[in-house]
Amino acid sequence: MARTKRVTERDRHACAIVREARTLSGEQLLRLVCPGRGGSTQRWVLQSLVEMSLLRRTEWVGRSGVVPVYSVTANGDYEAERVAPGGVSADVVDVASLEHHLALSEVYVRLLEAGITRQVAAAAKAPRRRGRAGALEAVYARAIHPAWRWVVAGDGVSLPWKEYAKGALKERLIRPDAVLELPGAGRRLFVEEETGSHTIRAVSPDKPGATTEKVKRYVAYVTGYVDAQARTTWYQRRYPDGLRPELVLVEPSEARCASVRAAVKQLVRPPLVVHVWTLEAAVAALTVDVGLGVLSSAAAEVPTGRHEVPGGTVLSPAEAEALKRFFVSARSDLKARQADAGQALAALLAAGVAVKGLPEQQQKLLAGVKALQRRLQAPIAPDEYDTMRALVTRLGAVLR
């Protein structure tokens, strides 16, 4: 018997997700709306979304061959509004920009994917046949995520400003690849996906795509005043909500990350904070920042891979990874924040964490905390400090 095609809640959330991302590949979309399902079911879901005129399918020839990509239609936009009102429906991404856009969208996809990983694992343990299929049917990413907001279209990614150059006031415009807002943490992150096609340092004045020039523009936008008498910066006028501005440079390799950090180190000015991460490091840090690395009471019955030890201390793999990165990166020139870092680590140690009986990995982590506390004379990298401080804040309720 042929399966009846009707618009479901999953279909509506799929439309809203594609609308928010602007364009997704078929592989990216299936990871969110059909995780853990068989190939025939996945093909049927995508085909249904297209046949119901909710999504538009086009084929793009990338480096790995022909890649199907999906964007939302007018009908899909209507259905998306029913579950995620107020979204912005943008034009289809230009073919020339698809490779860059899909690489950027991977950050968005992995943030959503992190929210359903536990549910997929729990559903996979359901009895075979109809029990497992029924459990997986209800597992899919939702377009509503109050802890964070992803913006890649509309006025949210258009930052006009002015600056004096060569004796005249020049019109300037910054267009971030994406803006990630974390209202609960008081942060706004401008995300720039770097493919490595541009040089790190500008070799001539006509190389505005160089990484250092990009950072200079953001610094000028965040610190420059609207006019000589004003005490309001261009950033504050555009965003009066008080969220702290941060710039995330997503680099293709750790080697390039190291080179970029060295190149922009002297360019950054408060209040702008610059993070230079690979995709994996960015996702690891941001999943903790948006709260996906913290066990909620509602999800306590779901297997999570977290370790609970005497005294009630709980660490997830994501939190453990964040701590490990922080220890490895205890360097650079952040002397002004050493006292705060010391207090955060002291609070972590004073929480009564029990070492006896812990898994070997956690014993090493706790030993690393103590070693780092003794080494606070060595400066701490800004990007790792912020990750650690957010982590300690979120763990506070557990550690005390």
Instruction: Identify the pLDDT of residue 333.
Output: 36
Alpha-carbon span 183 to 181, nearest angstrom: 6
> What's the pLDDT band for 371 if we cut at 50, 70, 90?
low
- Per-range mean pLDDT, top range of 18-32, 202-216, 320-334: 18-32
326 versus 127: the higher-pLDDT residue is 127
The residues, ordered by sequence, that sit 6+ positions from 95 with a Cβ below 8 Å of its Cβ are 60
Instruction: Identify the pLDDT of residue 301.
Output: 27
CB 234 within 8 A of CB 161: yes
Instruction: Identify the pLDDT of residue 288.
Output: 83
Least confident of 88-97, 229-238, 379-388: 379-388
- Per-range mean pLDDT, top range of 25-29, 122-126, 164-168, 169-173: 25-29
Instruction: Identify the pLDDT of residue 322.
Output: 57
The answer to whether residue 29 scores a pLDDT higher than 80 is yes
208 versus 232: the higher-pLDDT residue is 232
Instruction: Identify the pLDDT of residue 324.
Output: 53
Instruction: Identify the pLDDT of residue 290.
Output: 74
- Residue 19 has phi, psi (to 5 degrees) of -65, -45
Average model confidence (pLDDT) across the chain? 77
| 349-357: Cβ within 8 A, 24+ apart | 349/373, 351/313, 351/399, 351/400, 352/311, 352/313, 353/309, 353/311, 353/313, 353/399, 354/309, 354/310, 354/311, 354/313, 356/310, 357/309, 357/310
The answer to whether residue 278 scores a pLDDT higher than 90 is yes
Q: What is the tens place of the pLDDT at every residue in 98-120?
A: 999 999 999 999 999 988 887 88
155 versus 283: the higher-pLDDT residue is 283
Instruction: Identify the pLDDT of residue 372.
Output: 60
The answer to whether residue 391 scores a pLDDT higher than 70 is no
The answer to whether residue 23 scores a pLDDT higher than 60 is yes
SS3 at position 274: strand
Domains of the chain: 9-144 (1.10.10), 154-282 (no CATH), 294-399 (no CATH)
Instruction: Identify the pLDDT of residue 353.
Output: 52
Instruction: Identify the pLDDT of residue 161.
Output: 92
Q: What is the tens place of the pLDDT at every residue in 48-72?
A: 999 999 999 999 887 878 999 999 9
Q: What is the tens place of the pLDDT at every residue in 257-275?
A: 999 999 999 999 999 999 9
* Percent over 90 (pLDDT), the chain: 45
Instruction: Identify the pLDDT of residue 295.
Output: 30
Strand arrangement of the beta sheet that strand 55-62 belongs to: 24-25, 65-72, 55-62
The residues, ordered by sequence, that sit 6+ positions from 224 with a Cβ below 8 Å of its Cβ are 161, 163, 233, 234
Instruction: Identify the pLDDT of residue 166.
Output: 79
Q: What is the mean pLDDT of residues 204-214?
A: 75
Smallest Cα–Cα separation from 182: which of 285, 50, 42, 43? 285
- Residue 39 corresponds to which tokens in the numbers above? 């190939």
Instruction: Identify the pLDDT of residue 310.
Output: 34
Alpha-helical segments (H) within 276-337: 279-289, 317-328
Q: What is the tens place of the pLDDT at every residue in 179-195?
A: 999 998 899 999 999 98
- Strand-pairing partners, residue 60, are 67
> What's the pLDDT band for 335 if we cut at 50, 70, 90?
very low
Smallest Cα–Cα separation from 212: which of 146, 156, 268, 277? 268
